[in-house]
Structure 1
Amino acid sequence: MKVLILCGGHGTRIRDVSEVLPKPMLNIGNRPILWHIMKLYAHYGLKDFVLLLGYKGWVIKEFFLQYKAMTCDVTVTLGKHGAVQFHGDSGEDDWQVTLADTGEAAETGARVWNARAYLEDCPRFCLT
């Protein structure tokens, strides 16, 4: 079963902070709120996520594109044929995360509708 997570709001109730970061990326401890939500779902076996991006979605994309490098030890070979080797397990290696741009101005229903291509093989899904 897939888990859709709404990550596109402007965070107007936390305006002071959300001008810099989107609300899902505010840290609790050393990880964003979004990661904690995903970790809870993963605890119950739900590890296929579709993040419905909008406002400052690029921040969330950057986080996941750099995730492995930020959570594991890394060896970098410099030079002509540079290579990167990751050491260890981040603990989330079995997660699948789809980052879906659903429109910055889209409301909740439109965000889900815009992500329908990722739900074709999934008659049921969770939505947070």
Structure 2
Amino acid sequence: MSADGEGRSHWFDDEAGPVVRPYAMTRGRTSSAAQHRLDLIATVVAEPGADDPEADPTLSPEHVDIVGLCRDAPQTVAGLAAELDLPVGVVRVLVGDLVDLESVRVNRPVPPAELPDESILRDVINGLRAL
């Protein structure tokens, strides 16, 4: 019997229900093969031809939720974490699993260093106006 006297274990929160530790969702993993591509503003998109995630018994409910959210509209990694109320690290691992299964793809934002220089764009605009 637990300290609350109701016979509930310490893994139960009266307001939240059963508590599942984040490492249980990721099977103890803290990274995935695709982790290096998953910054907070990376966009996750469901693959249109991917199998139904609910039919795959190896996927957790969180995996299925991620694919469902990304089918509705592309989602950022940070947005998925907020929507699912999960730590970003857990979402990164779960999205990495889905990338490996080809259920989702990740679009990385263009790094600022790779964007065209503003002066070049101004020169192009001025050149077009001169025509």
Give me the TM-score of the superposition, normalised by structure 2. Answer: 0.30
Structure having the higher helix fraction is: 2
Structure having the higher strand fraction is: 1
| Higher-RCO chain (CA-CA 8 Å, sequence separation at least 6) | 1
Structure having the higher Rg = 2
Give me the TM-score of the superposition, normalised by structure 1. Answer: 0.30
